Amino acid sequence: MMLISNYDKECCQAYMNIRKEALDECLSLLRMERWSIEEILQMAWNLLNNKIKRWNRAMKVFVRVYLTSERRLCDLVLGDYSSSVRDSCFVEITKVQSCKC
């Protein structure tokens, strides 16, 4: 309905906001948390090394499962838009700040 009513930008923004929430939830399920650079630099090497290993495992799942599914969903939901708009929305959705592992 938003597309028909010429609310294209608002439609994309609403979609991106909802999907960013889903992204955060997915990262939470994978036990990823936000860390600042300062917190990371202050960690003991053993702890940091364990977090890096956990982060690598979680990111493999995230990329293979979540991002692939998110791309398909984005193309489905925003199918009436040009590929550049869909690509732009997908990139905005998947931008994430630093995460805690």
Domain around 43: 8-94
How many domains does one find in the chain?
1
Read off the pLDDT of residues 66-99 as tens digits, 9 standing for 90 and up. 889 989 998 998 887 788 888 888 888 887 544 4
What confidence tens digit (pLDDT) does each residue in 53-67 have? 998 999 899 889 988
In a domain, 101, yes or no: no
Residue 59 lies in a domain: yes
The answer to whether position 2 is within a domain reads no
Is 1 inside any structural domain?
A: no
Does 22 map to a domain? yes
Give the helix, strand, coil percentages of the chain, each rounded to 5: 70, 0, 25
